[in-house]
Amino acid sequence: MLVPVLMCLAAGDVRGASGPTAEVVAAQLRDAAMAGHDIAYSWVSELTTRFGPRPAGSKSEQQAADWAAAKLRALGLENVRIESFPLTAWVRGSESARLIAPSTQPLVIAALGESPPTPAGGLEGDVVIFPTLTDLKAAAPGSLSGKIAMVAQRMVRAQDGAGYNAAVPGRTDGPQEAAQRGAIAYLLRSVGTDSHRQAHTGTTRYVEGRVPVPAFALSPPDADQIERIAALGQTVRVHLFSGASYVPDARSQNVIAEVRGRERPQEVVLLGAHLDSWDQGTGAIDNGTGTAIVTAAAKLIRDLPHRPRRTVRVVLFGSEEVAQPTAPGHTFGGHSYAVNHQAELANHVLAGESDFGTDRVYMFALPSVAAHGEFARTLLRVLTPIGVLTSDRPPEDFGADVTPTVEAGVPPFALSQDGMTYFDIHHTPDDTLDKVDRAQLDQNVAAWAALAWLAADSDVDFRPRTAPGDGAVKP
């Protein structure tokens, strides 16, 4: 844990104005977090216990936002406010699925987010299995008339989540591809890496204002079972029911709080995470821990004897889960923030989001202009003792909520987490508090506090020398 901080006193752009250098303070923040500060764990414990699931636009999401705002004030953060925005909420109803031929067997499924309900009596059809989405796309128009299309692609386990990006088009685009070929419903092997009887939900794409057919994720063992029965040469017929519904006049909200900068408070280092969750679990790792990490990092900075030069702003976004791939009317928290704060974005110096579970941070990535300078070298010295590398590439995955902000020209950073087990429980009923490892949670807080402090106490300009963004938020 000891770092040779005294060797770094000459580091120009990260030196504090007086007292200890910024690097010494960053190391102190890191060590305070690693010592087992209880802020983060108690935050995620209380959040998930009091409010349970927090679907976008729900009462529980709103109650959690009110609680979060009060909690942020109690922690001593400033300018705490809630910014509300409208959306059409999707509500899971009762749902069921069963094999009806060649034998009767229950199936574990979950309607995909935004999926329309089935008819009241359900629907049934023979299942046509496609190994991948590409195979489905190769099917002839009309060839699935009256059928239920199923894509059986398996997600690959990979540390950086690359397997998710490869599999998720089966979820986002599968329903419309099936519908275009006449299918009456769509089944997807869950986009997940586990083998439990739990289905991984997630949103799917709107086409002309709606998801075209009822769409469901199958638990991995149920997808296996259907494939094995088909391999016996038998036609698989299933019955599907979903009572999902929509609430057109719902509202969600972002919660914002700050540690105001002492010299240039208008300059903002944005730390984001989303407060909403899918409805099956209690949103512990997606994304209760993210909100806990950025809150605890800001709280540790707030408790320092002096503030950073710039402002550290925490944004707990609402309604993130329905933002992928496209929220109806683009009304998700990340978009709402970028629109509301458009005039400020030119003064946002850096933005990042914690939304990849609770496993340890193993790498950081900075905008190209800062990736090889003294700022990066200082950060590396501070984070090396807690097992963090520096990336040789600029941030690529920086989170759905900060994307509109980044697209408007704000430089992103990433603190990459080990995602080897994240997709075992992502978007399932199993996303509950017992999955949170306190030590790894604290390591995340350490990394976030150190990076946020160093960026906020510096005068580094992270923007490219020729700015690619035009400062405008995409519609």
User: Which residues lie near a second copy (CB under 8 A)?
Assistant: 45, 49-53, 60, 63, 99, 102-106, 108, 195-198, 220-221, 224-225, 228-229, 232, 279-282, 428-430, 432-435
Dihedral over Cα of 366, 369, 370, 373: its sign: positive
Under DSSP, the state recorded for 284 is I
Residue keyed to tokens 């796309």: 137
- 3 state SS of 213: coil
Under DSSP, the state recorded for 373 is S
Nearer Cβ to a second copy, position 199 or 312?
Answer: 199
Report whether 194 contacts 221 (CB < 8 A). Answer: no
Residue 309 CB, shortest distance to a second copy, in Å, is 40
Residue 279 CB, shortest distance to a second copy, in Å, is 8
Nearer Cβ to a second copy, position 109 or 136?
Answer: 109
Q: What b/e string do you get for 232-265 counting C-beta neighbours within 10 Å, with b at 16 or more?
A: eeeebebbbbbebeeeeebbbbbbbbbbbbeeeb
Residue 197 CB, shortest distance to a second copy, in Å, is 4
Nearer Cβ to a second copy, position 276 or 353?
Answer: 276
Report whether 199 contacts 95 (CB < 8 A). Answer: no
Nearer Cβ to a second copy, position 20 or 221?
Answer: 221
Instruction: Give the HSE-up count for residue 148: Cα atoms under 13 Å, Cβ half-sphere.
Output: 28
Closest listed residue to residue 126, CA positions, set 104, 107, 145, 105: 145
Residue type, 219: S
Dist CA 399 CA 356 (whole Å): 9
Nearer Cβ to a second copy, position 172 or 358?
Answer: 358
Residue type, 449: A
Which tokens hold the place of 98? 């069963």
Which tokens hold the place of 244? 């999902």
Dist CA 293 CA 414 (whole Å): 14
Residue 299 CB, shortest distance to a second copy, in Å, is 21
Residue keyed to tokens 């060649």: 102
Report whether 149 contacts 186 (CB < 8 A). Answer: yes
Residue keyed to tokens 């150190």: 450
Residue 119 CB, shortest distance to a second copy, in Å, is 19
Residue 49 CB, shortest distance to a second copy, in Å, is 5
Dist CA 265 CA 288 (whole Å): 28
Bridge partners of 149? 128, 186
Dist CA 52 CA 59 (whole Å): 11
Residue 43 CB, shortest distance to a second copy, in Å, is 14
Angle between helices 438-456 and 22-34 (to 10 degrees): 160
Dist CA 415 CA 356 (whole Å): 10
Nearer Cβ to a second copy, position 1 or 232?
Answer: 232
Nearer Cβ to a second copy, position 362 or 423?
Answer: 423
Nearer Cβ to a second copy, position 391 or 421?
Answer: 421
Residue 244 CB, shortest distance to a second copy, in Å, is 15
Residue keyed to tokens 């590398």: 389
The percent of the chain in helix, strand and coil, each rounded to the nearest 5, is: 35, 25, 40
Nearer Cβ to a second copy, position 110 or 383?
Answer: 110
Residue 172 CB, shortest distance to a second copy, in Å, is 25
Cα angle 319, 323, 328 (rounded to 5 degrees) comes to 95
Residue 229 CB, shortest distance to a second copy, in Å, is 6
Residue 188 CB, shortest distance to a second copy, in Å, is 18
Nearer Cβ to a second copy, position 70 or 138?
Answer: 70
Nearer Cβ to a second copy, position 103 or 466?
Answer: 103
Dist CA 201 CA 188 (whole Å): 10
Nearer Cβ to a second copy, position 180 or 225?
Answer: 225
